[in-house]
Chain A
Amino acid sequence: MTKLVEKTIIEIVSDVSGFDPDEISMDSNFFKDLEIDSIKAIEITVAIEKKFKINVRDEDVPKLTTVRQAVELVGKLLNQKSSKATIA
């Protein structure tokens, strides 16, 4: 699951930034390494939200500076979503 999330997020970041997936590592910093500006930051967030059908909350936004953080956050939100679905 985490591997799939990781791959999908790297694909999204690659599409938005233009960097080849091979050039993007888990520790790549969006702003320092991948030339992400405000427009691209929103583009990545919106694409992640649509792809995984999740909602990134305001308090989670500061956690979105590296690919690893994005993968962890998406993993956490997906887990919450599936546990909610189980309860329902």
Chain B
Amino acid sequence: MANIHANEYDVIIIGAGISGLVCGCYLAKAGMKVLISEQHFKPGGYCTSFKRKNFTFDAAAHCFGGYRKNGITRKIFEDLNINTRLKVIKSNPSNIMMTPDYNISFWDEIEQTGYELEKCFPHESKNIIKFFNFLTRSPASEFIRIRHMTFQDLLDLYFTDNKLKSLLSAPLLGIGGLPPALMSAFVGAKLYSEFLLDGGYHLTGGIQELPDTLAEAFQGSGGTLLLSSRVRKIKVKNKSVHGVIVGNNEFISSKYVISSCDAKQSFLELLDKEDVEKEFCANLNKMRPSISNFILYLGLDRNYRELPCRAATICFFSHYDLNKSYRAIQKADINSYGGYMMYIPDREPSVLAVIPAPYKNEEFWNENKEYFSSWFIKRIEETSIPHLSEHIIYKEAATPLTLFRYTLNYQGACFGWAATPSQLLVPGFKKNIEIEGLYLNGHWTTQGMGISSVAYVGAETAKLVLKKQKIRYT
């Protein structure tokens, strides 16, 4: 007979993305009985890798930031004792911004990055220093002032040169999914301080090593990880969470449920309609998700000299009108978009290339996937890797539908909600006020995006639960 307590946990976490795993690690380490239920057959969410023909491709995210001394990600890895188990390598430069006029690298030394920008924009020299100082040295309270601003507003406070402003904003379109006129200044500032000015950290065997190591640490602390296990329902009793239903109608009880999956799914599908406030649902339906991506994976036949800077993330733009680019992408008009992001790992000759893409139906992608791939390869060939097409021995692409299928993020959104000022830190998202014991976690909390941010949210969610339980954490 099965153990009658087998289906009882203190905490159930839905989704083994980075936020879910980090959260689970903190809770299990503090002695709580934790279950993570993940629908995919491997942990990681957007941080997974897959192997084809001796190539290891990172499926979406390929590197992380915030790993300097006192950096947000480093602090978490140290707390969880996984920093010694991971072989973290920093690429230097971490990012390269390419336009027809400029080629700017983001170096380990922030001063060096500033110096490169100053060389190209000598008339903005002092402002560049002031801007970087604001991003990296401001006290926490300083950021309150920029809470309602867009990143464009913030740039306008510091700079007059429009080309420089576009150049500084272009990487954010790739890693945050919005042009400066729409992106929250705070989110842009965080992406700068925690990714562009402290980024390029990758793992020797691919990004999958991160969730795998977290999963190992979680299980090592007594946590239970269920893979290929989709949560179907979150059950609520007397305004408190009561447990979840997984797979084939199996009920698992818990005092806390932490939903590290998408917000719409959590509140509109997993919870019963009568358990969620109507006003909250109405607000949820008005919110806009972030953009999805079209991702190209190429395996190449040898290391040939034309391969540009290995291990750096390259961001290319042929023009400076980022609002035009963003409008183009809503219409799936890749020709007018004018940019792309690309990563060539140092472990093998392969290419990971990304452009934002809208969520469209299967018919659209069946018709257009090949066109997008061919256009993309041609574009890379023209702008950064000559003769690329002659060396491809493996080719695959992921559309927004693929991203949705593997992660169940609403419409394949890559960054949770679109990071506009009005969708920043919306009250009632992280901890549900109506339902006791229910928390949302990860990039749908309106708290930020990217690995360092979701790891931070995961750690903070765990701390909320531990404080509630009066359990000390270290």
Chain A contact residues, CB within 8 Å of chain B: 12, 15, 18-20, 31, 36-39, 41-43, 45-47, 50-51, 56, 58, 61-62, 64-65
Please pick, from A19, A43, A61, the residue contacting B141 in the complex, using a CB distance under 8 A.
A61
Tell me, yes or no, whether B427 is within 8 Å of chain A by CB: yes
Q: Verify B140–A58 contact, CB threshold 8 A.
A: no
Tell me, yes or no, whether B1 is within 8 Å of chain A by CB: no
Given known contacts A45-B147, A46-B424, A50-B427, A65 and B141 CB-to-CB distance under 8 angstroms = yes
* 10 sampled A-B residue pairs with Cβ under 8 A: A12-B427, A15-B433, A18-B460, A18-B466, A31-B139, A39-B456, A42-B144, A46-B427, A61-B144, A62-B141
Chain B contact residues, CB within 8 Å of chain A: 138-145, 147, 186, 424-427, 431, 433, 447-448, 456, 460, 463-464, 466-468
State the 9 A-B residue pairs at the shortest beta-carbon distance, nearest first. Answer: A18-B467, A38-B140, A18-B464, A38-B143, A47-B427, A43-B425, A42-B147, A61-B144, A41-B140
Q: Verify A39–B141 contact, CB threshold 8 A.
A: no
Given known contacts A20-B467, A39-B447, A46-B424, A15 and B141 CB-to-CB distance under 8 angstroms = no
A-B contact count (CB 8 A): 59
Q: Interface residues of A: mostly helix, strand, loop or mixed?
A: helix
Q: Which residue on chain A has the smallest CB distance to residue B467? A: A18
Minimum CB–CB distance for B369 against chain A, Å: 38
CA distance A66 to B297 in the complex (A): 51
Q: Verify A41–B141 contact, CB threshold 8 A.
A: yes
With a cutoff of 8 Å between Cβ atoms, the chain B residues found around residue A56 in the complex are 144
Q: Verify B425–A58 contact, CB threshold 8 A.
A: no
- Residue of B143, B427, B456, B466 most packed against chain A (CB within 10 A): B427
Given known contacts A38-B140, A39-B447, A50-B427, A18 and B145 CB-to-CB distance under 8 angstroms = no
With a cutoff of 8 Å between Cβ atoms, the chain A residues found around residue B447 in the complex are 39, 43
With a cutoff of 8 Å between Cβ atoms, the chain B residues found around residue A65 in the complex are 141
CA distance A84 to B426 in the complex (A): 28
CA distance A51 to B143 in the complex (A): 20
CA distance A19 to B468 in the complex (A): 8
With a cutoff of 8 Å between Cβ atoms, the chain B residues found around residue A38 in the complex are 138, 140-144, 186
Minimum CB–CB distance for A42 against chain B, Å: 5
CA distance A19 to B460 in the complex (A): 12
CA distance A12 to B433 in the complex (A): 11
Given known contacts A18-B463, A20-B467, A42-B186, A37 and B425 CB-to-CB distance under 8 angstroms = no
With a cutoff of 8 Å between Cβ atoms, the chain B residues found around residue A47 in the complex are 427
CA distance A38 to B143 in the complex (A): 6
Given known contacts A18-B468, A46-B425, A41 and B144 CB-to-CB distance under 8 angstroms = yes
Q: Verify B424–A42 contact, CB threshold 8 A.
A: yes
Instruction: Supply 8 further A-B pairs (C-beta < 8 A) apart from A46-B147, A65-B141.
Output: A12-B427, A18-B466, A19-B467, A20-B467, A38-B143, A39-B456, A43-B427, A61-B144
Minimum CB–CB distance for B356 against chain A, Å: 25
Minimum CB–CB distance for A53 against chain B, Å: 13
Minimum CB–CB distance for A22 against chain B, Å: 11
Minimum CB–CB distance for A11 against chain B, Å: 10
Q: Which residue on chain B has the smallest CB distance to residue A39? A: B447
CA distance A43 to B463 in the complex (A): 16
With a cutoff of 8 Å between Cβ atoms, the chain A residues found around residue B426 in the complex are 46
With a cutoff of 8 Å between Cβ atoms, the chain A residues found around residue B144 in the complex are 38, 41-42, 45, 56, 61, 64
With a cutoff of 8 Å between Cβ atoms, the chain B residues found around residue A36 in the complex are 140
Q: Which residue on chain A has the smallest CB distance to residue B464? A: A18
With a cutoff of 8 Å between Cβ atoms, the chain B residues found around residue A64 in the complex are 141, 144
Q: Which residue on chain B has the smallest CB distance to residue A55? A: B148
Please pick, from A19, A41, A50, A58, the residue contacting B143 in the complex, using a CB distance under 8 A.
A41
CA distance A56 to B141 in the complex (A): 13
Q: Verify B140–A37 contact, CB threshold 8 A.
A: yes
Minimum CB–CB distance for A18 against chain B, Å: 4
Q: Verify A39–B431 contact, CB threshold 8 A.
A: no
Minimum CB–CB distance for B185 against chain A, Å: 11
